Structure 1
Amino acid sequence: MKQYDLVIFDWDGTLMDSVSKIVVCMQQTSRQLSIDVPSEQAVRDIIGLSMNKALSVLFPDADETIRDRMVDVYREQYLTLNQTPSPLFSGAEQLLIDLKAREHQLAVATGKARAGLDRVLSATGLGHHFVASRCADEAKSKPHPEMLQQLLAQLDVPAHRAVMIGDSIHDMNMAKRAGVDGIGVSYGAHSRDKLASSSPIAIVDRPQQLFEVIVNQ
């Protein structure tokens, strides 16, 4: 008998190895607009937040006009100009296949906008694995629990029968606020120590370990 009916994944840094690309694109956006360039760690710390919230944290003195311009420049960097690879993590697709074989429902809760998530789901061919998803332009930004609350309501799953998997403290805090178990992955935006500060039920170092943790709870 399985512990979780619903397994919810973050995307960037959890299923897709895109943290480095996000960092480079955000730094290049700053250079292009002659704004102070944030450190790699500063950018890592906002991964998972909605774009508007991320920019407000990274550039608190920037006005709305500048932030709107930054969104446009960042999008051009990410989609067109920057060639940093962002493959799926090794073992990620097989993990989804194995969990579905055990009749877990799978979902996504991401800081990406809907257009961005739809694009990567199509490009990777993973879209058919997921029964539902929520994006940063459809609910309040992580760590607010609204994304998870909406998914639980849509799929009629009680909080104690769901688990959230993510690479950032924002994911773990969102899970805690929603009453959902959290599992951290140490290979994305945040370190094992930082993830541990939110008391996830487990922290793993590679996707292949997630299956064992989920099925043995």
Structure 2
Amino acid sequence: MKQFELVIFDWDGTLMDSISKIVHCMQALAQELEIAIPSEKVVRDVIGLSMPEAMRALFPAETEATRQSWINRYKVHYQVLNATPSPLFDGVHELLDGLAQKQKKLAIATGKGRPGLDAILSQTGLGPKFHASRCADETRSKPHPQMLHELLAELGVCPSRAVMIGDSAFDLKMAHNAGIAAIGVDYGTHDRDTLLAVSPLTVVSHPLELLQHL
């Protein structure tokens, strides 16, 4: 795996421990709307999709206009009302520093929107560590490969020299669709068996394990 020049990370559930917050916010939204509250598993299964795609999967009977209004309200829960901590996973700083020392280019491909990603990169101080990023409100939703194609083109890296790191099957399927390698992490959204079913190069259980492979 040492041939990889570009390492592309998902964000939620891969670098940041934000899954619980996402679940709690979606359930709080449903409670506020007085509709059926989705289970934790149901919410986890759509994490990684763009917000419109996630809402479409969770609430298929609603209109696009209704779902958009719910997205706006979800953002209030996530950004203002919910105080569930979302720390970086242990080892993330050391992982990113170690990859930088190995002269790897780093990028982000996330289901978050651009305002949310920019805010969290500023808050964590991680922004300068990444050479490029793509968000779900700028391209097609995972598992469509558009955001990966755009990152490869922007950074001038061929598919065989790039690897996608993610915690969901959507991340790994996106990598497959883009013709690049993928590594799963099983401490986020989807369990090891779900990730292995998409045939990644390997699945790791801690961020620092990635340094052994990259």
TM above 0.5, yes or no, is: yes
Q: TM-score, normalised by structure 2?
A: 0.98
- Within 5 Å, which residues of 2 pair with 1:130-149? 130-149=130-149
Q: Corresponding residue for 2:193? A: 193
| One-letter identity of the residue aligned with 2:19 | V
Aligned partners of 2:20 and 2:11: how far apart in 1? 14
- Within 5 Å, which residues of 2 pair with 1:159-174? 159-174=159-174
Number of aligned residue pairs: 214
RMSD: 0.9
Aligned partners of 2:62 and 2:39: how far apart in 1? 17
| One-letter identity of the residue aligned with 2:121 | L
Aligned partners of 1:38 and 1:171: how far apart in 2? 22
Q: Which stretch has the larger CA shift, 27-36 or 161-170? A: 27-36
Q: Identity percentage over the alignment?
A: 56
Aligned partners of 1:26 and 1:3: how far apart in 2? 40
Aligned partners of 2:148 and 2:69: how far apart in 1? 30
Runs of 4 or more, structure 1, over 3 Å off, are none
- Within 5 Å, which residues of 2 pair with 1:3-152? 3-152=3-152
Deviations 1:26-64 (A, max 9, x none): 011111111211111111011110000000001001112
Deviations 1:165-214 (A, max 9, x none): 00000000000011110000000000000001100001000101011111
Deviations 1:44-98 (A, max 9, x none): 0111100000000010011123212211111111011111100000001110000
| One-letter identity of the residue aligned with 2:120 | V
Q: TM-score, normalised by structure 1?
A: 0.97
Q: Secondary structure at the match of 1:207?
A: coil
The answer as to 2:192 corresponding to 1:213 is: no
The answer as to 2:184 corresponding to 1:184 is: yes
Deviations 1:98-129 (A, max 9, x none): 00001000000000000010010001000000
Aligned partners of 1:73 and 1:157: how far apart in 2? 39
Aligned partners of 1:14 and 1:210: how far apart in 2? 11
Checking the alignment, whether the CA contact within 8 Å between 2:2 and 2:213 is kept in structure 1 is: no
Q: Corresponding residue for 1:154? A: 154
**Unpaired runs of at least 5, structure 2:** none
